[in-house]
Structures are given as structure tokens and as C-alpha cells.
Structure 1
Amino acid sequence: MKHSICGTCESQAKHRLVLKSGVAVLAAAGLLTAFPVIAQETAAAADAVQPEATVTVTGVRRAAQSAQKIKKDADNVIDSIVADDIGKFPDTNVAETLARVTGVQVRRDGGEANTVLIRGLPGIATLLNGRELFTTTGRYIQLADIPSAMLQRVDVYKSQSADLPEGGIAGVIDVRTNRPFDFKGFTAAVNGGATNNSQADRTDPNVSGMISNRWKTPIGEVGALFGVSYVRNHYSEERAFNTKPIDKSWLLPNLTGPDLMGLQSIHGDRRRTAANYALQWKPSQDLEVYAEGLATHYLNNFETDYLVALPWWGPGDTMSGTKIPGSNQLQTLTSHNVNTIMSTQANRADNVTQQHAIGARWNAAPGLRLSSEISRTLSDYDWQNPILDTLTVMPNSVVTTNAGGGANISYSGQDITNPANYRLDQLFDRYGHDHGSSTDWRADGTYTMADEGLFKDFGFGVRAAKRTAASIKSFEGSVLAPDGIPVTSLPGLNCTASMQNNWGTTAWYTPCASYLISNTGAVRQAITGTSAGKALDPGSYFADEEKNYALYGKAHIGWETAGIPIDGVLGMRITKTDSDLLGNSMVGTAYVPTSKTSSDTAYLPSANFKASLRQDVIARFSVSKTLTRPDFAQLNPGTAYINANGTTNLATASGGNPDLKPFTARNYDGSLEWYFSSTGMASVALFRHEFKGYIQTKVVKETFNGATYDTTRPFNTDDGYLQGAEVAYRTFFDKLPGVWSGLGVEANATYTEGQTSTASDPTLSGKPFAGMSKWSYNVVGLYEKYGVSARLAYNWRSKFVQTYNDGGPGLDLIASPMSSLDGSLGYKINENTTVTLTGSNLLNFKYTDYWSNKALYPRDTRRYDRSVGVFLNWKI
């Protein structure tokens, strides 16, 4: 029986045949369309006081042309992606789309992009229509949670200006949704389709809709827009892994090898539901009042089914091994009568985030524009993660550490899928809740000078925000089951995990994840003697309150030098933050409240200059100071301890550091941009960030109640820098004859290097930033002609260090280069209807990582879904 999240599987061969055939179509298309990496017009706050503009964007070329002009006119260094039609973005979520932006790197796991870096750095501020948006206790929202169908555009700010909220030391990502005054009148759009994932072997719906209208009324013009989106995604991921090398010289002289090896079968059912609204009222030409909001519900039921080989451990086991030639590292190990753990990690993640805002824009006097807005953000996250280990003894085991670059495990002697051969071993009972909220008020103004001179206009604004964050989870650690309890004593617990890829073993018994989630009490009763859940851990608790006040001013200046027009924006942002932190720490054997109060004030100057060397050539230079505050969990004054228990648990602890300071950077950006056609441009950019206090984490030995714990804590480094270069190019070959004139190409590449220094941990000094690839690039083939639009996009990033000293001193965990080939093929049936075939991971990318030496110390090998979808877009 093939295992799924519910313990059963449903055949969908008919749907699978239709969608999988799309892979061949996409590959044969040769050229498939992309949504260009393009740019946006102004800073987030400035947008709030712009006059009304009607936006009607259709087609890849039109989107490129409009956005390219916006980039050319912008004051900041910005790249953007714009929808080529209502609800039509290149991917199903924002994080996937951003992978095509120059300088942006993403990490993909669980069937989608989930980590976004700008120029190698994670310090990103996320905005929704210019307002800060976050998930529970984080400083930013998980961009994958926002459906692309609702978006008008996504702006990536790489240089800071005084009117942008502070917090994005790497950059700012502003997600923009549609408003009713963006359209001329009644507008409706429906997008519907289905996507098939190859390893999950499921076909899922993806639907969205929007309706908008505006009316002339006796009280002025009124507009209303409503949108909904639903995306479901069954996904699968398969992994083979080794643990870090340790001494095994008792078997062979000078031998090292992994203590554990294993396989992971990952299955998930991810659902994202979202709704947005926007109301606009314009009682006169000088006044507009609006209200808008967005709510997202993310529900992810997923499981990881482990086969954990313990080839060194068993009752009366005998074994023999070999080394990798030329090394002391284990290559193969043959064992008999060895213990083997079959473990299921069941997960249920439920997150609801919503934001609502009311504001107004007013042309108060000639040249004077004012705006004000208040918003409320709420986010709640509930999670469950029961983990059940079961144990069996396998008569024969042959493991290989580097077969095909990774682990391979082969068993024989008994049926590995038969529940009768297993007993309960231990339970990890885990659950928790996070909450975040914010009330944010701001007021902005711009005064435009009546006379031409050095000063063109002045901008000013104030902001006050109150932010809260709280988190608690259950005690960590496991409870061992009484000896000899068979797994068959719990009806409904027994399932089979399976793998499409052959890692030596393709199927094994596993506890059913759905039973673990729905009947956790019964599993607790069998192992602990009570159905009650594990108590909440006061050491994990924190409740933080943060009040932020900001004041900014900026001046737009302009002059000519040697006949060259030069524009500049000079600004200063002053921001003050008062924090009250509350947690719990253990004193002896009792938890006592631990609090910390802090306050800081920062002055953040910025200057952006633009020189129009020719009508089609622009040079830019910007310098600014930015700041990013620690995450709330990093400030937790408490510590949570996990005692050593069993064969796989070490004594560990984790806690925050209430003495962490915001880290700051001085940023320098310079670029040269050539706009040689309405849809063609080439650019080169240089950048450098100089850091102070960059936050990293490390593991230190700490003694508590006489025991030594490997304790993970964040800390401020001393100084550091990141620098690099970007190049980008895009064009359509309009002058080619006939059908060939629809061809286009887009390419960009980024080089980054950087490091930090810290006296408190010399092992990290002078090392490149964890998570940063030195090189990344995108190459996109485009076609749009005769109603056909096509894209074939290849994304690549070089290897990077994930964690320093992860496998021990000098053994860094390194991810191999990553790549992705995605494509789409669309046909415009008529002015209102378009059908599109999409595909992602067309080359079936294999992920690998390793400790310092790929041939000797491989860790994970992973395979992901190949996805193919068919969609219909209809609008009026």
C-alpha cells in the first residue's frame, strides 16, 4: 500500500496522463515566456500620496515596457516583477517569482521556495502596499504564503530612502495588490487550473477570482474590489542521509563513519486560502479615502517517514566494513541482527494572518499633499508535531555511505513492511502556539516648490507603531515506551512508506501520521500511561512588546552639470524603539520570570542620485545607513533544556540573548543603465555593505544543574562587509522577420562576497556569510507573437555554507550548487480568454549537501516533485 498523509492513496491516472504529457510539450517548445525582471516607480510611502493612475497591463511586452519606464524614472535602486494581466504571475507564490530578480537567491524545500535572500543577506523587510507585514513572532512574512493571483506587482528595493520603514538591511520587498481605481470601470477575472506533482502523484486545484467596479455617485466617485484565492498542493520529497563522521576505530584502524544513516519519505498537503478587498471613495478631486485588507490562511498537514539505520548497534550483531579508497572514512558496512528505527514525524501547521488599513490622501493646498493611515495586523500560528519511533531487528543490513553521492541502505531476512515485526520505542510529544500583533499609524506629506530651483520638493512624515509577540511550546525530549508493546496494539497506526527513487530500500513500515495527529492521546496512553499532553515549557515562553517611533524628512533636488541633468533625494530617518522583554529562566529547579527593558535611537541618513547622461543612459549612486532589529525569539531571555535520553538525544539547550543589539550597515550602490528600446535594457551595478553587529548563532558549552548542555544562542559579531556586482540584459528581437520577431531574451547574473569578524568566536571570523552563494544567474528565453506567449527560465546559484562547524571543528555543512528549469506556454484564445501550460523542475534537480568534502562526507541527497499545470484565465 502506498502511504500518504491519510494513510491511503487515491488513483488519479486520468488527470496524471493529461498533465504529465505537458512536460514533453514544454520541452519541445524551445522558447517559453517569462515575466521580465523589471522595476517600479517610487518608494512605498511616496506611493500613498501619488495622484490617481489608471493601470491596464496586458501581455508580457506591455508589462515590460511599463515597468521599464518606471525603473528608469525611479529615485531608488529597484527591480520589480509586474503581472502581464490580472491575476497572472509567473508562479503560484511570491517567493518562487522572486528567484528571477537580479540579486535575489532562494532556497527550495518542501516543494516550493521558502527562503529569500537579497544579495546574499536574509535581513529583509516585507511590506504590503507600503505597510509592514509579518508572520507571528517574525520580522517578515513568509512570502510563499501570499498567492500571486492577487498581485499587481512586487517591488524589490535595493537602496534605502528615508520614507521606507527601517528593518531591511538587505533590502525591502513590497507586495502590491490591485485597487478599484486602477481600472477604468467594471472588471472581473477568474483564473482556474490544476497542477500535478510527479512524486506526490496527485493533481490539485488552483483557483482565484477578482471583481472590481467604480461608480459616479452624488457623494463622489466610489470603487470596490474583492478577490479570493485557493491553492492546494500535495507535494513529496525523498531524501537519503548520513550523520556527521565520528570515530569508529574499534572496527577498523583510524576509521571514521556516520553513527546513523537513513531514508526520509516526505509527504504534504498544503492549502492556502486568501481574500482581499479594497474600497475607495473620492468625494472631490483633492480628497480620497480608502480601506483595504488581506487575510491569508495557511494549513499544512505533512509528515516525514524515517528509516533510521543503526548498523553499529544490535543484539549480538556481527559486522565488517570497508573504507573509501585513499581515506579513513567508511564506505560500506555489512551487519547482522541490527536495530532499526522506523519513525514518523507528523506535522500540522495552521497559520492565519490578516491586515486591515484605513487611510486618506488630501491635496491640502497648491503643491501640498498630505496622507494618513492606520493599520492593524494580527497573526496566529498553531502547530503540532508528535513523533513516534518504532523498533525492529533486521537480520541482514548492508549500508553504503557514498553510493551515487549519498547513502544507500539494503535490508534482507524479514519483511520490512510487516507491522508484526515492530514494537513501540519512544514518543516525542511536541506542540506550540505563536501570536503577533501590531497597530501602526503614519502620516506623510510632500510640498512641491512653485519655482524651479535647486529644491524640487520636500517630503516629511511620522510613524508610531506598537508591536507584540508571544510564543510558547511544550517541553522537548522523549518518553521511552515500556518494553514489548507491539505496534499492532494500536489499530489504525500501521502504514507503509514508499519511495519512487531507489535508495536501496523502496518501502518500509511506518506509523500513520494521520493517526498520530488525530489520536495523539491514545498513543500517549500506550507509552506514558496517560492521555494528557506534555506540559508547556516555561523556558520556551517569551512575550515581547515593542514601541517604535519614527520621524523622517527628505528633499528632492535637481541641477545640471556640463549639460547633464542630475536629480537627487537627500533624507534622514530618526527612529526610536522601546522594548519590554519577558521570559523565564531556571534558578535551581524552579522557573522564575526574567525581564529586560531596553531602548535605542538610530539616525539613518540616505542619499540617492541619478544622472541622465543621455536620454537613454542613466547613472545612479546611492549611500545610506540601514538597521535590522533582532527577531523576537532571538531576544528571549529564557532558556529551554533538553536532557539526554536514549541513543539519539544529546543534552542540548536553546535560548535567546536579551542583550542583542540591532545590527547596522553603511550601504553604497552605483549603477549604469542603458535603455536602448521600450522593452530593452542593459545594466551593470556595484554594491558594498559595511556591517556592524551582524547577528549569527553558535553552539557553546553551558553547565546547568551540574550537567553540560550544547546550547545554541545568537550573538552580535563585530564588523563585516558584503560587496559584489550585478549585470542584467533584456530585449525583444522586434526587427527579425515574421514569426521570429516574437523572440526575446532576458539574462542577469550576480557576484557577491563578504565576511564578518568577531573576537568572541575566532572560528567564525573571516568566514563568508552562511547561506550566501558567490554566484547566481538567470537565463530566460521569451516568445510572444500571434497570441502565443512562451517562457523557458533557468535559474542557478553556486554552492554555499549552511552551517559552520556543523560536523565538528572544521567540518562545515555545504550545499552544492542549485538550479531549476521552469517554463510556460500560453495561447490567447480571444481578448478575454487565455490558456496556459506550466512546468517547474523540468530537469528533475537533485539536491546534495556535505561536510567540507563531498566525496568523503555526504549528508543529504534529495529529490523533489516535477510539476505540470494547466490554467485558464478569463476576464472582462
Structure 2
Amino acid sequence: MKSSASFNRKLLSTLIAASLTTGVYAQDQGLEEVVVTGIRASLTNSVNVKRTSGSVVDAISAEDIGKLPDTTIADSLQRIPGIQIRRSAGEGAQVNVRGMPQVSTLLNGEQFLSAGSITTSQPELTDIPAELLSRVDVMKSSEAKTLAAGVAGTIDLKTRRPFDMEQGWTFAGSAEGSQGSYTDDETGHKVAGFAGFNNGDNFGAIVTVTNSKATMANYRYGMYSEGWYRGYHENVERDPVTGSDKYWPGYATPTDLTNDGDTNDVLFGTIDYGATNKTTERERTGISGSVQFQATDSIELLADVFYTKMDQGDYVNGLIADNAWSSYDWISPNPSANVVNRGKAVGGNGKDFYTTSITDLDAVRVLAKSETQMSERESLNFNLQANLELTDKLSGSVRYIHGNATNDATRNFADAFITSGAQHGLSTNVGGVKAPVNPGGYGPDRVPVVADFSGKHPSFAYPEGFGQDINGYGLVSSFADQNRDEESTLDVFRIDGTYDFQDGVKLDFGYRFADREVVRDQYDYVAPFVVKDANGNDVTVYSKWRDSGLEGVKGGETIAQTFSFTDLQDMGLITSISDFGPASDGNSYYFIDTNAMKNNLAFQEKLYPGNVRVKDGAESYIVEDKTQTFYVQASFEGEAGLPYQANVGLQYIETDLSITKYERDFTYTTVVDGVTYPTLDGTPRTITGTDVIERGFNDFLPRMNIAFDTSDNTKLRLAYTKTMQQMDANLLGRGRIFTTNYDSTNNVFKSVSASEYGNPYMNPWRSENYDASFEWYFSDSGMVSVGAFRVDLETGIATRGTKIDAVPDSDGVLRNTNQIDLTVTENTEGNVMKGWEVAYQQGFDFLPGAWSGLGTTLNYTYTTGEGSQKDFYGETMPVQDNSKHQVNAVLWYEYDQWQARVAYNYRSERFMSRQWIDGNPSAMWSAPTAYVDASVSYDINDNVTVYLQGTNLTEEYEESYMQWTDVVVDQNIYEARYTLGVRAKF
């Protein structure tokens, strides 16, 4: 286990070299004289946005993004009441507003494409560098002129514009280095540069460029194959006719595992247990530019470009004990552990359900797993705009937006055995000679392992010396599946107009046409194998699974081969790892080097040449969404007992959807160079054609916002809005997936059930939203606000079971005359999200001397909503991924040349999903989290600032549990990260 990192000589020398050689770099906070100056000025800017807005809005300014101790935009957004985030490798990534993911993201008031959320509506902001932005607005109630608004809320990213700058040239920049408490041998960097010119008359241009790279620890303990749970039955009786177990899975003989005097209970367990060394490497590049030209007194021309690119690698090496997906008699409570009776599940199998915190594993298999997942995200968005002053009263704009985004992802897996395979009867058959798949591995006995979840972090104890001899390792299985290429294009043309009656009344109106297409291609790599059948004849088969224990033909030879680690070490493919974070046991274990797996095709070709790419029609689709929007909005102010400002309007949206799905046959074959070959189970089925579904619908969306000035410094806001947002493309386009079993009698695979998680006939998200808030502005940067909200979702999503006709077996013959089960996704009745928010911020400038530099920002959000799923005891679960309670507390200081902040974020537990464990429904939860971040900076002079930041200072981790808080399923371990940097402006 590594201790928390301090800044060593390597880091300091890197930072010094960067500050001396980089030149001029830019960052949001590098533009203090352009946008805001200092923490108080940024808070003042945010207060002004909220106070003068026509709807319910919260904002963070450039100082908030740049100088809060936050790494991503999402990290900064979590400071706003009502916003919850999920993390990826410890960094803020996905964003909820008021407990819901149905949130739209705009760029300068218009839709754009983010490569992180091509198929989804939920914002995923890890690929957008914060340095490119000057402000972020969160619109919780939308106006009629707010186009492409989200159901729960709308996030509007604001970039800089040249005419906002002072006259002349402006240069600014920053350079920083970072380290993590676990990855302290990896130094990250970020550099940014800004140049801007404003001639003070009719022309201006700016450009910002930024690049960053970091390696972050992201260890995982507990369950490796998330979602695969089991209840282990004690009582096993042999059926006198078939000889099989009546209760499956179970023990060979009746056993009283729980010491309650009977053998008729269920013990909670999982498919596998282990500890993984996982690191995430991210490199971000961002470029934004803007040109403004005042062509005439009445015509302003504007052009924006916004480019982002992020390359990410996730590298996993895990020591995993599992049941080999075959034997279910491998767990029992440790004698030292408490065994807890949880009672009987509602809708379960009628047996008592038990849990234990320390489990003895009679491990059927122990794996040294290696996994590399690579993604390349890239997006480019253009905005061409003309702002027109047609008369003294009539003005408007014409805009054309084009966006293109791609997200290409690959996966590569290598499973090495440390056990022999004899424990579960997995053997090779080459030339009629059978042997365990890993003859040099541990065995033939099972491996005694103790999985202890009773402490802060899980631990896993193996026998003395286990896994220490490289000769005991063998690569038994590898595959490269579920790779995907995603691409989206967007074209928007819109005309907006405003007629100002100049007596407090304005009329906004406009038209918008948008065409967005999402193309998703998922594919596997399959390799050829020449094997002998039962008669000794050569047969060529293609397989996705390169498993040395997998038969190519029934009764014939097995495909692939087992590669000994000693041979692979000579090929430079082996590494030794002892670092598993807090769960390290002091031993080193051998793994396939994940760096050698970055190019998944090249790695597979090195072991098994001849791979071909086979498209998975069940997971591929094309979705095109065309909309025409007309809107009209009247804004006016007056007095009705109290002064007020209001806007009332209507949007009309006409939507045309075209969804292309792929038809497939049911035979296990693939065509390579015009020749048809048989394939083994798991290989995607041949695409035979397409099915295009076209739909259209219309929406009328009234919206109203009104604010009363209850005094010179207080406002009462009321809002009613109706919203609509399209379903995620995955929910519309994904196809039908069949679950198969092997039929040994006919030597075929039979489809026994199916699931369809994409449904092209589902309606969009629709809701009616209500907001009420009271705001008190007691100083330029001081504010107290209290708000209540309610979101009535008209539509929801649920799965339903039904029956369909059976499909042909793998040889094309239909043998099953009975129907099979189909799980479908469909619209269901919506639910209600409601809650309230309270916020307070103030600078204590009334205090004497240096104490006047103190200030604080505090907020609390309560959000609740009832879902449709039941837990173990039949209680209705809340909406998924929503935390009922969220708290933010920021203490800041700004005096003379010093600035400092400490930020705290608390999020209560959240419901993740319901899992079925042999008929026992259980609710899976994510435990509460509390993150602490801090930063301090010092202005050396008017032009140069040095700063130090720390994120996740307490090394907070995220933990999931099954129904009960003491039944831990897994943990994701994040590290503390420390950053030292310098900023300059000229």
C-alpha cells in the first residue's frame, strides 16, 4: 500500500521547467481582468445572473470553475443546489438535476454535440476542459424561447466573446503538475494558453488552447462481475428420477451452513470476489475560438468554434476467486463471522435469507484477470451567427450550427488461470489427449480463500505462497468484444426575433429546424480455428471466445491453446503487480501487461491471427431525429400590488423519428471472403437486412415565469413549464438479444429466452414542472434563497415480461414448439419528483482587518421521488440514482494577495437497482459519500499567481451494498490528488 504523496523533487522540477519554458498559457482564472476579479467578484457575477434572470437560474462564473478546487465542470456544478453528480475515476462526470438524468446541455444557448454523451441525454462532461468556459448557467425552469430544454433542467455552457474584453491584446496562461496519493510515481500536467484582441471598434478575436494528462487510481474491491449474484441453498435433495438437485444451485448433501438447526435456508453470495489494481489515464485537448465583427451599425457577425478531444485508457489487473460459472457449492460462513437472519423475501422462494461479513470460499477457480478498455472521444462544433438591428424596435438573429462527435471504444480481456481447471472439469482435447487447461496450475483441490468484508476495506486471504510461482500461470481465455463506434451529426438553423414595444413589453418569436443523427456500430473480433471433429476430420470454426477448454465441434478437439506465462514473458507480455491499494496483501502476482493490450486487434492477432470484425446487429442502430420548433413569448413588467416581471409563451415542436434496426438470422455462421463458416456460441449472428421504423408526434409546451419584487432586495418567483425531451438513442435503437443453452442431444444451441432493451415505439420524456422560490439579496455578493419544486413526469420506463414464438436452433432447425420468455422495455406511467432547496452565501467584509477576507457558501437540497421497484421486504424503492439529501459547504478567504477555499460535498445514499438472487429480490444501494477539496493561491505580483490544490483530501471511496448496509458488495477506491501550478496574464 502506498502512502499519500507529497510533492517530490521530480514534481517540483517538472513544474519549474514548465513555468520557465511554456510561455503563455490560459485558464479561466487567467482572465480575471476580462471576466471577474477574485472570489467576491465571481460570486457577485453569479448573484447578478440569478437576480436578473427571467426564470429560475443558478450560475457559476469563470472564477468558480477555475478556482474552486475542482477538476471538471461536473465537480463545480455539484456546488449548485439541486445538482448531483456521479464520478468516474474520482472525477465528476455524469450530472443529475433534481434527481433526474433527463438534462439537456447547450453551448451559448443552443444545442451542441458532446462526445461523452452521444447516445444519451444525461450530460457526461469529462471530455470538456473547464478552461474553455467563462460561465455555466443551470436553468431549472425554462422560458418559451429556451429551445432544446431538458425535462429536469438545462445546463448552458458559456464561452468568451472578444467584445467582452478590454481594448488591445490580452495574453494569459497557466501550467501545473499533479500527483495522486496512490499514483505518486505518475506526474500529470495541464497547460493552457489564451490570446485575444479587441480593437475597441468593430473587430475582435480570441483563442484558447488547453492540454492535460493524468493517471488516476481507481481500485475496485469485492464483486468483479457486477450484477451476477446468487443465493446459495443449503438443502439439496436428489430427484429420484433424474438424479439432479431439486434445489439449484446447492450442495451435494444437506448442510446446515447457518447453524440454525435446519438445512433449508438461503445464504447470500456472489459469483466472484477479488481485488483489482485499476488505473485510468486521461488526456484532454480543447480549443475554442471566437471572432466578432461589427460590419455596420445594424449588423454584427459572429463565428465560434469549439473542439474537444479526450483519449482515455482504463487498465485493470485483478486477482479474482470465482465459481467458474459452474459450481454453486463454494461458499460458507467463516466460523468467526456473525451470520444474520434477514427473514423471508417478499416474492421470494419462501426460505429464510442469511448474510455474513466473512466468507470462506472453496474457490473453484482463481484468475489473474487483465482488462484494457480504450476510448477516443472527439467533437467539433461550429456556430455562424448574424445579429441584426432592423429598426429601433425590431431586432433578431440568424444562426447555423453544425456539430460532429465520435466516441470509439475498444475492449480487450485476458483471463489467466492460477488454478489448473481440474476443479471444475475444464480440459483441453488435442489429438484425443485430454488434460487440464492449465496443467501447471494449483490443483486439483479447490483453493481455500477467506473474503473478509468486516473492516473498512475488504481483504482476501490466500494460502501461503499461492500465486508466487510464474510457472503456475497460464493464459486460458482472451477476447475482444463489445467494441463500438458511435458517431453523431447535428445541423441546426434558427431565426429569432424580438420586438420591443419600449414600454416594458417585448415579444420574442422564432423558428428552429434541427436534424440529429446517431449511428452506433458495435462489433466483436472473431478468430478462425482449425480443429478435428469426432471423426478426425479438419473443421474450420470461428469463435469470439478464445478458450482453450471450448470444443470446436461436439466430441472433437478444443480450440485455442493455453499460453504459459513463461513463454509470454519472453514475448514481453507479462508484468508483476503488488499494488492493490489499501487491500494489498504484501504479495506480488503476475498478469498480462495491460499496456500490451491497448490495441486490441494487434494483441489478439499476436496470439490468434486471422481475426475478422463482425458487426453485432442487436447492439447497432441508426436513429435520426428531425424537429421543427416554433415559439412565441411575451415579456412584460408592471405592478399588481407589487412590481413584477413576467414572461409567458408557447413552444410548438413537431418531431419526425426514423429508427433503423438490423435483422439477423439464427444460424451460427459467418461469411469470410465469400465463404460461410460455422461459429461458436457468443459470436454475433449474420445480419440479413434492416427494418426502418418511422414515427412522428407533436408537442405544445406552455411556459410561464413571474417574479414579484416584494421589496428592493427580495424576490418571489413562480414558474410553470411543460417540457419534452427525446429518449436516449440506446432505448430506441437497441435490438433483441437471445439467451442460449446447449442442447447436448442435438448438438445445438437453443434460444431459451430473450430481452429487448430498445423499443422504437416509446414516447419521449414529458413533464409538467412547478417552481416557487424566495430570494433575498442583502449585498452585492450576499444572498439567501429558499425554493420548492415539483416535476410531474408523464412518462416513465419499465420492463415487462411477455411471450414470443420460439426461434430456430443454431443449425437453423425449429425444434421448440413452445413459446419463450421475452423481456421488453416500454413506457409506463411516470412518477413525481419533488423537494426543496435552501442556499446562503456571504462575504464577511464587516469583520475587522484580515478577518474581512472570510466568506462562505452553504446550500442544502432535499429531493424525493417514488419509483416502481420493490425491495426484499416489498417496500417501494425511490427513483434510481437520486440522493434524498445533499449538502455543500464552502469556506473561502480572499485578502490582499491570498485566496483560499475549502469545499465539502455530502450526498446521502442512493438506490442503484434491484437484483434477483434465486427468487429473492434485493435492493442494491450506493452508500453516502463526503468529499473534501481545498485550494490556496498567492499573487506574486499583478501578473503572476502560484496555487496549490487538493481534491478528495480524505481519500473518500464509494461503496455499494445489497439491501443492508453491512452487506458490502464492492468498493471503488479513489485517491487524493494534489496540484501545484502557476498562472500569468499580460
TM-score (norm 2): 0.78
Match of 1:480 in 2: 547
Pick from 194, 199, 212 the counterpart of residue 196 of structure 2: 212
Pick from 313, 317, 325 the counterpart of residue 305 of structure 1: 317
Pick from 747, 760, 778 the counterpart of residue 858 of structure 2: 747
Alpha-carbon separation, structure 2, partners of 1:700 and 1:112: 41
The answer (yes or no) to whether the contact 1:180–1:278 under 8 Å persists in 2 is: yes
Match of 1:129 in 2: 108
The answer (yes or no) to whether the contact 2:222–2:971 under 8 Å persists in 1 is: yes
Unaligned ranges ≥5, structure 2: 16-27, 235-250, 258-262, 342-353, 420-441, 526-543, 549-559, 668-685, 744-750, 810-815
Instruction: In structure 2, give the amino acid aligned to 1:622.
Output: A
Summarize the Cα distance change of 1:378–1:295 in structure 2 as closer, same or farther, 3 Å threshold: same
Pick from 493, 511, 521 the counterpart of residue 573 of structure 2: 493
Match of 1:541 in 2: 620
Matched, 1:165 2:147: yes
Match of 2:99 in 1: 120
The answer (yes or no) to whether the contact 2:65–2:76 under 8 Å persists in 1 is: no
The answer (yes or no) to whether the contact 1:756–1:764 under 8 Å persists in 2 is: no
Alpha-carbon separation, structure 2, partners of 1:344 and 1:796: 34
The 5 A counterparts of 1:232-251 are 232-242=213-223, 244-249=229-234, 250=251
Summarize the Cα distance change of 1:765–1:598 in structure 2 as closer, same or farther, 3 Å threshold: farther
The answer (yes or no) to whether the contact 1:168–1:628 under 8 Å persists in 2 is: yes
3-state SS in 1 of match to 2:104:
strand
3-state SS in 1 of match to 2:134:
strand
3-state SS in 2 of match to 1:836:
strand
The answer (yes or no) to whether the contact 1:399–1:407 under 8 Å persists in 2 is: no
Superposition deviation, residue 627 in structure 1: 1.0
Match of 2:679 in 1: none
Match of 1:458 in 2: 507
Superposition deviation, residue 12 in structure 1: 9.2
Superposition deviation, residue 634 in structure 1: 1.1
The answer (yes or no) to whether the contact 1:162–1:553 under 8 Å persists in 2 is: yes
300-309 or 778-787, larger mean C-alpha shift: 300-309
Residue correspondences, number: 825
Pick from 744, 757, 767 the counterpart of residue 665 of structure 1: 767
Match of 1:604 in 2: 701
398-407 or 704-713, larger mean C-alpha shift: 704-713
828-837 or 482-491, larger mean C-alpha shift: 482-491
Instruction: In structure 2, give the amino acid aligned to 1:233.
Output: A
Alpha-carbon separation, structure 1, partners of 2:449 and 2:136: 51
The answer (yes or no) to whether the contact 1:96–1:144 under 8 Å persists in 2 is: no
Match of 1:30 in 2: none
711-720 or 278-287, larger mean C-alpha shift: 711-720
Alpha-carbon separation, structure 1, partners of 2:461 and 2:177: 37
256-265 or 116-125, larger mean C-alpha shift: 256-265
Superposition deviation, residue 88 in structure 1: 5.2
Residue by residue, what CA displacement relative to the aligned partner does 1:648-680 show, whole Å, maximum 9, x if unpaired? x99875541111100211100000000111111
Summarize the Cα distance change of 1:329–1:505 in structure 2 as closer, same or farther, 3 Å threshold: farther
Superposition deviation, residue 306 in structure 1: 2.0
Summarize the Cα distance change of 1:553–1:63 in structure 2 as closer, same or farther, 3 Å threshold: same
Superposition deviation, residue 694 in structure 1: 2.0
Summarize the Cα distance change of 1:804–1:691 in structure 2 as closer, same or farther, 3 Å threshold: same
Matched, 1:278 2:294: no
Matched, 1:825 2:936: yes
Matched, 1:347 2:388: no
Alpha-carbon separation, structure 2, partners of 1:618 and 1:351: 43
Summarize the Cα distance change of 1:790–1:569 in structure 2 as closer, same or farther, 3 Å threshold: same
Matched, 1:869 2:979: yes
The answer (yes or no) to whether the contact 1:87–1:151 under 8 Å persists in 2 is: no
Alpha-carbon separation, structure 1, partners of 2:13 and 2:455: 32
Match of 1:41 in 2: none
Matched, 1:77 2:56: yes
497-506 or 145-154, larger mean C-alpha shift: 497-506
Alpha-carbon separation, structure 2, partners of 1:765 and 1:127: 38
Percent identity of paired positions between Structure 1 and Structure 2: 26
Summarize the Cα distance change of 1:140–1:860 in structure 2 as closer, same or farther, 3 Å threshold: closer
Match of 2:597 in 1: 516
Pick from 393, 402, 409 the counterpart of residue 376 of structure 1: 402
3-state SS in 2 of match to 1:95:
helix
Pick from 582, 592, 610 the counterpart of residue 531 of structure 1: 610
3-state SS in 1 of match to 2:598:
helix
Alpha-carbon separation, structure 2, partners of 1:390 and 1:709: 36
Pick from 14, 21, 24 the counterpart of residue 9 of structure 2: 14
Alpha-carbon separation, structure 1, partners of 2:942 and 2:299: 35
3-state SS in 2 of match to 1:122:
coil
Superposition deviation, residue 797 in structure 1: 0.7
The answer (yes or no) to whether the contact 1:316–1:337 under 8 Å persists in 2 is: no
Summarize the Cα distance change of 1:687–1:825 in structure 2 as closer, same or farther, 3 Å threshold: same
Alpha-carbon separation, structure 2, partners of 1:93 and 1:616: 34
3-state SS in 1 of match to 2:763:
coil
The answer (yes or no) to whether the contact 1:311–1:333 under 8 Å persists in 2 is: no
The answer (yes or no) to whether the contact 1:19–1:869 under 8 Å persists in 2 is: no
Alpha-carbon separation, structure 2, partners of 1:701 and 1:260: 32
Match of 1:725 in 2: 836
Summarize the Cα distance change of 1:200–1:645 in structure 2 as closer, same or farther, 3 Å threshold: farther
Superposition deviation, residue 335 in structure 1: 5.7
Alpha-carbon separation, structure 2, partners of 1:548 and 1:763: 45
Alpha-carbon separation, structure 2, partners of 1:506 and 1:119: 46
Structure possessing the higher radius of gyration over alpha carbons: 2
Match of 2:846 in 1: 735
Superposition deviation, residue 57 in structure 1: 1.2
Pick from 130, 144, 152 the counterpart of residue 148 of structure 1: 130
Alpha-carbon separation, structure 1, partners of 2:142 and 2:844: 35
Alpha-carbon separation, structure 2, partners of 1:155 and 1:866: 29
Pick from 645, 651, 656 the counterpart of residue 578 of structure 1: 656
Matched, 1:442 2:494: yes
TM-score (norm 1): 0.88
Residue by residue, what CA displacement relative to the aligned partner does 1:85-139 show, whole Å, maximum 9, x if unpaired? 9965652321111111111111113131111111111001001111212333334
Superposition deviation, residue 762 in structure 1: 14
Summarize the Cα distance change of 1:748–1:233 in structure 2 as closer, same or farther, 3 Å threshold: same
316-325 or 348-357, larger mean C-alpha shift: 316-325
Summarize the Cα distance change of 1:696–1:105 in structure 2 as closer, same or farther, 3 Å threshold: farther
Superposition deviation, residue 320 in structure 1: 6.6
Instruction: In structure 1, give the amino acid aligned to 2:898.
Output: V
Instruction: In structure 1, give the amino acid aligned to 2:212.
Output: V
Alpha-carbon separation, structure 1, partners of 2:490 and 2:599: 33
Unaligned ranges ≥5, structure 1: 3-9, 21-34, 37-53
The answer (yes or no) to whether the contact 2:64–2:76 under 8 Å persists in 1 is: no
Alpha-carbon separation, structure 1, partners of 2:203 and 2:652: 37
The answer (yes or no) to whether the contact 1:719–1:757 under 8 Å persists in 2 is: no
Match of 2:884 in 1: 774
Summarize the Cα distance change of 1:99–1:641 in structure 2 as closer, same or farther, 3 Å threshold: same
239-248 or 76-85, larger mean C-alpha shift: 239-248
Summarize the Cα distance change of 1:764–1:363 in structure 2 as closer, same or farther, 3 Å threshold: farther
Instruction: In structure 1, give the amino acid aligned to 2:658.
Output: D
The answer (yes or no) to whether the contact 2:912–2:925 under 8 Å persists in 1 is: yes
Residue by residue, what CA displacement relative to the aligned partner does 1:235-254 show, whole Å, maximum 9, x if unpaired? 11112113634214225233
Alpha-carbon separation, structure 1, partners of 2:800 and 2:589: 37
Summarize the Cα distance change of 1:335–1:505 in structure 2 as closer, same or farther, 3 Å threshold: farther
Residue by residue, what CA displacement relative to the aligned partner does 1:592-650 show, whole Å, maximum 9, x if unpaired? 4222100011011100000001000100000010112111121116224465699xx99
**What root-mean-square deviation, in Å, do the aligned CA atoms of Structure 1 and Structure 2 show?**
3.3
Alpha-carbon separation, structure 2, partners of 1:248 and 1:654: 31
Alpha-carbon separation, structure 2, partners of 1:401 and 1:494: 29
Pick from 288, 291, 299 the counterpart of residue 303 of structure 2: 291
Match of 2:177 in 1: 194
3-state SS in 2 of match to 1:673:
strand
Superposition deviation, residue 333 in structure 1: 4.5
Alpha-carbon separation, structure 2, partners of 1:756 and 1:332: 33
